[in-house]
Structure 1
């Protein structure tokens, strides 16, 4: 069993993978001011909740899009495992053929998502990861990563709306009973949820045209479960995708 961690701008996804099986998946808040000891305590507490001991873990792997705390979390994991975890980045074998202008610019989370999707689903593929930013990975019929999209996440858009419209307050991300809202809160919920769902449907249509055929669509990320049920296109929701990808990359780098 391995400890797998993905550091995002808003949340840190933490879980354990036993082969291809996800033992658990949890999220911690990404706090840039925490020390390695504080992160070690957080991670240890999560492991304790699931009754996982250090002896149960053969190693660890980390991907991160927040360079400021990558080393801090790495040191925190070392305190728990008593061994150095792998960091997804330069020098790590992923098996992903990246066909973009500058492959070094591709975020580690997109690499991990793509590796997992190729291992689990038929190509060509579109992989939506819905978090602080929404990202789309495009994988062609030959399993090459050929590019993608990045656009503002639901939370970012909603925060911008409430910050710039003085009469609009915060809302929870839940779909109202009807698309046509009857009050301000319902209107905001409907606009947020259904505009995000419609955007995904439209993006799929356009990318499928460019790929000349049917595509498999996979969605993951903390907010995917709230939006995907309202999409009209067939989309496979896989909340464990990142951890699956980390497990695949971990195994590729074992001697």
Structure 2
């Protein structure tokens, strides 16, 4: 069993994986000011909730898009495991053939998503990761990472809307009963949810047009489950994609 952690801008996703199966997935808030001890306490508490002991864990692996938190989290996990932890980055074997202008610029989360997608689904692939930023990975029929897209996440768009429109307050992210809202709150919910779903549908159409063929479409990330049910295109929801990718990369690099 291994401990897999993905550090995102908003959340830290934690899971334990045994023989490729995710035993649990939990989320902590990403806090830049926390010390390694504070993160160690948070992670240990999650493990205790699921009755997982340190001796059951053979190792750990971390992917991160928040460099300020990476070191604290690594030291925190090593405090718990008493073992060196892998960080997805330079020098790590992934098996992913990256065909972009500067492969070193590709975020570790996108690498991990792509590794898992190629292992589990038919290519070509479009992988949507819906979080603070929405990203799309494009994998061609030869299993090459050929590029993608980045656009504002749902939370970022909503925060911008409420910050710049004085009469609009915060809302919870769930679909209203009708697309045509009958009050301000319903209108905002409808606009946020259905514009995100329509954007996904439109992006899929355009990417498939450029690829010249139909692709398997996968969605993951903290907000995916709120948007995917409203898409008109077929989209496979896989909440555990990133953790499964971390497990595959861990296996490629185990000593």
Common topology (TM > 0.5)? yes
Matched with 2:241 is 241
- In structure 2, C-alpha distance between the alignment counterparts of 1:7 and 1:137, rounded to whole Å: 18
Cross-structure match for 1:80: 80
RMSD: 0.4
Residue 200 of structure 2 aligns with which residue? 200
Q: CA deviation at 1:251?
A: 0.1
| Inter-partner Cα distance in structure 2 for 1:254 and 1:195 | 43
Partner of 1:139: 139
Separation in 2, partners of 1:152, 1:24: 28
Residue 159 of structure 1: aligned partner: 159
| Separation (CA, whole Å) in 2 of partners of 1:123 and 1:58 | 32
Give the CA deviation at 1:140.
Answer: 0.1
Alpha-carbon distance, 1:169 to partner: 0.2
Give the SS at the match of 2:247: helix
Q: TM-score, normalization: structure 1?
A: 1.00
Partner residue in 2 for 1:96: 96
The secondary structure found in structure 1 opposite 2:181 is: coil
5+ residue gaps, structure 1, are none
Partner of 1:107: 107
Q: How far apart, CA to CA, are the structure 1 residues paired with 2:31 and 2:174?
A: 26
Which residue in 1 is equivalent to 2:183? 183
SS where residue 22 of structure 1 aligns?
strand
- Give the aligned length: 255
Partner secondary structure for residue 147 of structure 1: strand
Give the aligned partner of residue 127 of structure 1: 127
- Structure 2 stretches of 5 or more lacking a match? none
What is the alpha-carbon distance in structure 2 between the residues aligned to residue 72 and residue 41 of structure 1? 12
Query: Which digits, 9 at most, give the CA deviation of each residue in 1:79-130, with x for residues without a partner?
Result: 0000111000000000000000000000000000000000000000000000
TM-score normalized by the length of structure 2: 1.00
Aligned-residue offset at 1:185: 0.2
In the alignment, which residue of structure 2 is the partner of 1:221?
221
2:31 matched residue in structure 1: 31
**1:63, 1:150 → 2: CA distance?**
18
1:238 positional shift: 0.1
Whole-Å separation in 1 of the counterparts to 2:59 and 2:115: 19
Trace 1:35-50 onto structure 2 (pairs within 5 A).
Answer: 35-50=35-50
